[in-house]
Amino acid sequence: MIELTRFQGKEFYLNSDLIEYIENNPDTVITLTNGKKIVVMEEPEEIVERIKAFRREINFPYIK
């Protein structure tokens, strides 16, 4: 799971496997596989980096 910030400033954790796609127009909107949309403060590139870091941590926990 990755930590994100809703547009209202509240932090939450999202299961990154549920992300279908991420748009930047001009706010960052994450569309989930169930069709739900979430507006977050992070830029798409930052979200992608967090997903990569999370998956790296899960697959290779002994590498820091």
Q: pLDDT tens digit string along 22-62? A: 999 899 999 999 999 999 999 999 999 999 999 998 888 77
- Classify residue 53: in a domain, yes or no: yes
Residue found by looking up tokens 């299961």 in the block? 15
* Owning domain of residue 7: 2-59
- Classify residue 14: in a domain, yes or no: yes
- Classify residue 24: in a domain, yes or no: yes
- Classify residue 45: in a domain, yes or no: yes
DSSP per-residue codes, 5-19: EBTTS-EEEE-GGGE
User: How confident is the model at residue 19, as a pLDDT?
Assistant: 98
Q: How many domains does the chain have?
A: 1
At residue 64 the predicted structure's pLDDT band, cuts being 50, 70 and 90, is: low
Cβ atoms within 10 Å of 43's Cβ, excluding its own: 12
Q: What is the mean pLDDT of residues 7-22?
A: 96
Tell me the pTM.
0.89
- Classify residue 64: in a domain, yes or no: no
